[in-house]
Structure 1
Amino acid sequence: MRTPSGDLVAALDIGGTKIAGALVDSGGALLRTARRKTPAEGDAAAVMGAVSAVLDDLAGAPEWPGVRAVGIGSAGPVDASRGTVSPVNIPAWRGFPLADEVRRPAGGRPVVLVGDGVAMTAAEHWRGAARGRDNALCMVVSTGVGGGLVLGGRLHAGPTGNAGHIGHVSVDLDGDPCPCGGRGCVERIASGPNIARRALASGWRPGPDGDTTAAAVAASARAGDPLALASFDRAARALAAGIAATAALVEIQVAVVGGGVAGAGEVLFAPLRQRLREYAALSFTADVEVVPAVLGGDAGLVGAAAAAAERVGVWGGV
């Protein structure tokens, strides 16, 4: 294990509900943290104001002079080659030059931008469930489905920072239209809102509290409700098909699954492993493991720092 050095990376995790920041050391520890609510319905300047406030909090810490780079994991799509972001859940940011806007308050330090799924992947490979694996797919299954790849022992973000975005792989050629413009995407079937949508459409009804989220469907599934179980099985099939396709293309060893829907536990993982055995039938895909992510809510920050450290060479890479 690497002994933490004095060199730090500042990390930002930008989503539709919150903007989080941290100073991260070479052991993956969050030394200082800051947070603001995302003014998602505000104009571009208002959203950037929240980002700047988080950076100001971090810059006020005594450790700030030790920061060597800034890593950003953002809801996407992102375009790392241009340094721009167009998050679906932040309407005012379309082609927004986030890297340039962050570089100024960061004092000209190098800024590395990746999608939030790639950031989660970097975190799980560095300090989580994919640690020690040279080839991995890591996935976030929540209100959307995102992901990223590790190939040959290194994070593979791709030219725009979106590589491994499994949520928009089509697994049902005649499936429902997806907001991305495709059809039958993994996200359209396996995300939390779509698990709940399918359950309700099939006749599932919530309990007395009226909760219609995927978490409520998961609770019904644990209690044996066949309609809830069927909705999770459908999601598991979509995820399994996407994982199998990825394994056939790039020969991954493990698929790490995190995000809120993964909190359903074996309600999701049991059918997912079963369906993967059906879809991943080739000899070089059949042994792919499926494991839960372990870093939870810190993954975006840890991963943004790891992605920046690898790109810039802080700590000798991670």
Structure 2
Amino acid sequence: MTAPAATAQAGARTVVPGTSEWRIVLGRLRQKRLAMVSLVIIGVIYGAGVAAPLLAPYSPTQTNLDRAVQGPSRQHLLGTDRLGRDELSRAMYSSRTTLIVTSAVVLSGGLIIGNTLGLLAGYRGGWVDTLIMRVGDVFSSLPALVMLILINATLGPRVVSWTRWVEGHTPFHGLVASGFPSYMLVFSALSLFFWVGTARVIRSQVLQLRERDYVMAAESLGAGPGRVILQHLLPNVSFLIILSLSATLGSIAGSEIVLTWFGVGVQPPAASFGAMLFEGSGTRTFQANPHLLLVPGVTVTLLLFAFALLGDALNDAIRGR
């Protein structure tokens, strides 16, 4: 979980990225063919997930035992699974699941929690810095995947029971049937671990920036901590924020898939690549029905490689390479 920190630290810069600076970075990024190909791959996979309710030929939960475990055909372009569910439709809705979880974790754990704590630790220093970093050390010292599995396995039934209570006492109905409890549990568990790397990177840069003349001048003129952080520090670490977030996207998507593969991630009826990979795993299964593993396997491989290549290209573009 600390790999994003190393990636982002390598691209650390001390500049105020104005509009022209961002245009230069985007121009460099457009010149990198692998980056553009990666963007297209990510866009197609996630775009299919967003448009799944409109474009998917079947419901991901629609079963037809008469057509169970069939290879690609006109009726089912990527074949069907053991329950006769359309593999193409399930793959599209699985992309949607990955997009929802990844976006939620990035916006909360990476963007909000990580950046806020990193800015506070770097600017305030003292006991605030010590407390935040020691908490981060605790989380980073834990075996993240094992802890995620334990958290989801332990709290899963309780979250479902709480959600049923909410359904029975509020106007909100259908939450359990929609898979809302598993979404919330996976999102919350992942957010606990994915803020640490971002916070460390932001803190290390802010420790340097807070000694700059323009920051000290703002403080001498009576600017409060909030104004200094928002107007003088945050713009100078914006490149680091983008780098850190881009480096964590693939890790978050992969973690969601792994958790579901172990059976403690997103639960049915929600579709997930992890569940598809589990159903298609096994030597005999692959030999008899290779499409059950190839459909999710190829899609996940392309998605994770695209995230990795895009992160490297963005790092090079920001560093001017």
TM-score, shorter chain, exceeding 0.5: no
Larger radius of gyration: 2
Higher relative strand content? 1
- Structure 1 length as normaliser, TM-score? 0.22
- Structure 2 length as normaliser, TM-score? 0.21
Relative contact order: is structure 1 or structure 2 higher (C-alpha 8 Å, sep ≥ 6)?
Answer: 2
Higher relative helix content? 2
